[in-house]
Chains A and B, each alone.
Chain A
Amino acid sequence: MMSAGVGVDLEDLWIRFGDFVAVRDANVDIRGGDFFSFLGPSGCGKTTILRAVSGFLEPSDGRVLIGGRDMKGIGPNKRPTALIFQNLALFPLMKVWENIAFALEIRGASAGERRKRADELLEMVALTGQGDKLPAELSGGQKQRVAIARALCAEPDVLLLDEPLSALDLKLRQHMRTELREIQQRVGITFIYITHDQGEALTMSDRIAVMRAGVIDQIGNGREIYNEPATAFAASFVGENNVFRGTVKEVRGAEAVIDTNRSGTLLATVSPANRDKMKPGDKAMLFIRPEAFSIAETGTSGDHFVTARVTNEEFEGNVFNIFMEGEGGKELKVSLPNLGQSFESHLGAPMTLAYDVQNAVIVPHGDLATE
């Protein structure tokens, strides 16, 4: 399936609006048939990239290639892409089937042919028999599916999705994730998905690009992004993370010792993107996920133990969350899986945690994602 689709390449892509640089030197190679996500906070330039791929925006510099073909000067109506808008942009005065078959109408297909294709697509998105309704008569999730069917009707090589799930409620959003992924695997074309929701990006994507302020920080599959973040931003934006600031004291192959501001010297793994680039004396950040901790004997010391005072404890069902005094006023969060074990409260008292050096990542000092 991977070989079938048409790939998209961004080469040295710059997009400027006056003095403002929206996208800075982006280089991305999106493989044909992949589900590729751009993940980043609002205003990071991800939608701008999508508009450059769809043709609504010309790059200031660099190239957009679709299927190896330079798209310069080719308008959105001539590109093999279809865009699903954040607000879906269904045509309110056309019936559902007319909406879906709009691309065929433009190509001059007969009404019968259009209706037939629309009905096929309606069946594919599980909306059989809803063709004669108006978009306003459908629920949010149904509209979503109509928008997908309408985009697929154009038989694009690349489907572009601009946060299409953001208007849905949580349950439906989670359901639509699975559905979108299924549809993508069925049609086998390249999907480029824009989102600020890391859950969406992680669950659906083959590969993800993490973006910040116009710059792509990291490209990789979900596990690489989550486990081996390349930058402080990627580490703090994707999933929950605890940060320890400090200076590199010693590098031992893939591992390094950090002299942290508050928790003594700690041993951790340098993330693969930064290996051989960090040397003693560099300012660094150490990230440990809440679920990477385990409880140790209070008072134990060593290069993979952290001791701090517990400020709050909560039971969330699948996990116990423990909040401890962290650095810079931020809490240190620990999540212990609920395996039916007994749980001893440490509220107000110090507690010692152990972590696996494999799951603690060192990146160069940098900006954190702000919530």
Chain B
Amino acid sequence: MPRFLKEFFNRNGTGMGLVMLGLVLFWTVGLIILPQLSMLDFSFRPNLPPPEYGGPKDVYTLENYRYLVFGPEGGSQDFNRVDLRVFYRTIIAALFVTLFNLVLCYPIAYYLGQSKTSKIRIFALMLIIPYWINEILRAFALRIIFGESGVINSALVGLGIFDVPFDFIRNDIALYAGLGYAYILLMIFPIYNVIESLDRNQIEAARDMGASWITIHRRVVIPYAKPGISSGCTMVFMLTAGALAAPQILGGPSSLWFTQLIYQQFNDNNDWPQGAAYAIVLLVTCILLVLAIMRLFKVNMGDMGK
């Protein structure tokens, strides 16, 4: 038995240790790894009716992946332009939402991290309470707010800034606002967590040596907060790219989110293998992108857990 396992059992006792280990294994293997593996398996199979499972036609194929790139066989176009466009638009929009979130949340997290605890409690509560409400309800609420006769348009028209209501939905502004709002906490808390442990004296020392606020953040605060920033960005990016409710409810008619395509494959087309292939492509792309960005900014996976 490896030493860390032995120590683990010594600390927790054999019975409790086995229970904890069992739960963790069940969680990771049973609820994460196995379902994903079965999705992976699905994605390489043709879409067959149940009686033909295991039959002569049930062979591994790359057809589902080929479809995403080149479209239906014998189709009029060289590439599956529609789906590919949705795919890269989703990724770029998710990156944009992440960046926007970071710009918005960093000052809040910095302010919270440097304030006294009593102040933070109220502020944190105000941030958390909206999350007691169901995600779909929140999306619908935003839809109403951004709607043609919603609060924002009434105010803008009432103030005479616009003559006619602005269509926030068609222009995807409601969508980006909804996506941005949905994961704000996941950006704020990791950054707040790191900045809270930053010694105030370091900021004062830099200021004492003549540094401007921008320099202080560039040279002292941001390098220190990097693990929190990358962990926040990763979560927001992954969840935004994989969001379904917000695009479904807040998206304009022209904007399809890639997850909506996946949803259509599973539910409307009843083509699980095709849906699985799309989901796998999205997952792998997101992971690779996150790893690439982490390398670019020299962040270790281990630092993010801090």
Contacts and interface: CB of A to CB of B under 8 A. Distances in A.
A85 B201 CA distance: 7
A35 B284 CA distance: 64
Interface string A57-97: 00000000000000000011110011101110111111000
Contact of B209 (A86, A87, A94, A106): A106
B204 interface: yes
A150 B211 CA distance: 14
Contacts of B219: 91, 94, 102, 105
Given A83-B204, A93-B223, A77 B209 contact: yes
Interface string A90-112: 11111000000011011100000
B156 to A, nearest CB: 41
A57 to B, nearest CB: 11
B209 A82 contact: yes
Nearest to B206: A102
B202 interface: yes
A238 B4 CA distance: 54
A102 B212 CA distance: 12
Given A91-B220, A106-B215, A85 B210 contact: no
A73 to B, nearest CB: 16
Contacts of A103: 209-210
A154 interface: yes
Nearest to B213: A77
A126 B201 CA distance: 25
B211 A89 contact: no
B70 interface: no
Given A93-B223, A93-B224, A107 B210 contact: yes
Interface string B155-175: 000000000000000000000
A144 interface: no
Interface in A207-222: none
Nearest to A78: B210
A102 B199 CA distance: 17
Interface size class of chain B, counting residues whose CB lies under 8 Å from the partner chain: 10 to 19
A83 B205 contact: yes
Nearest to A77: B210
Contacts of A92: 224
Interface in B165-215: 199, 201-202, 204-212, 215
A105 B204 CA distance: 16
Contacts of A105: 219
Given A78-B210, A102-B209, A91 B202 contact: yes
A106 B210 contact: yes
A92 B199 CA distance: 10
Most central of B202, B212, B223 by chain A CB within 10 Å: B202
Interface string B254-270: 00000000000000000
A54 interface: yes
Contact of B205 (A55, A75, A89): A89
B233 to A, nearest CB: 19
Nearest to B205: A89
A87 B209 CA distance: 16
Contacts of B215: 106
A28 B289 CA distance: 62
B228 to A, nearest CB: 14
Contacts of A55: 208
Nearest to B200: A89
A83 B224 CA distance: 22
B208 A54 contact: yes
Interface in A145-175: 150, 154
Contact of B202 (A54, A77, A81, A89): A89
A85 B223 contact: no
Contact of B207 (A77, A90, A93, A94): A77
Which 8 residue pairs of A and B lie closest in terms of their CB atoms, listed nearest first? A89-B201, A89-B205, A103-B209, A85-B201, A77-B210, A83-B208, A89-B202, A93-B223
14 contacts: A55-B208, A83-B205, A83-B208, A85-B201, A89-B199, A89-B201, A89-B204, A91-B205, A91-B220, A92-B224, A103-B209, A106-B209, A106-B215, A107-B210
Interface of A: 54-56, 75-78, 81-83, 85-87, 89-94, 102-103, 105-107, 150, 154
